[in-house]
Amino acid sequence: MDGDRKLLEYADIVLRARDVSTLARTQWLNDQIMSFYFEYLKAKADDLRIELIQAATVQLVLWTEGEGEDDELGPFLDPLDLGSKELVLLPVNNSDSPMTPESGSHW
């Protein structure tokens, strides 16, 4: 499929033709476009007290239990050292289902 054609690799983000097509005027941005932009901004930021969290990580936090001894989020969030940051930016989605990829209609 042409939509699966890889157009760009940046940091750990891969943009495919279907992702870039969401930049058309009548389309919604998808997670990959947002994650790419956050990675780009993070690479350009000189201030290490700013954290930009990717959309996929936000969804993981939203739908994962993270309290008590069985804290599943520690391996994902601890390396970010969020307590030392002055500013943390993250996209928020109105998704109501953890089982439906790319669910929700707004960021």
Question: What would the pLDDT profile of 24-52 be if each residue is shown by its tens digit?
Answer: 888 888 888 988 988 888 888 767 788 88
pLDDT confidence bin for 19, thresholds 50/70/90 = very high
Domains of the chain listed by start with CATH number: 2-89 (3.40.395.10)
What integer pLDDT is reported at residue 10 of this predicted model? Answer: 93
Average per-residue pLDDT for the chain: 81
Nearest of 1, 43, 8, 45 to residue 23 by alpha carbon: 8
Give the pLDDT confidence of 54-73 residue by residue, as tens digits.
877 887 887 776 555 557 88
Q: Is the pTM of this model over 0.85?
A: no
Nearest of 38, 81, 78 to residue 56 by alpha carbon: 38
Contact yes or no for 62/29 (Cβ under 8 A): no
* Long-range contacts of the stretch 41-47 (C-beta < 8 A, 24+): 43/11, 47/86
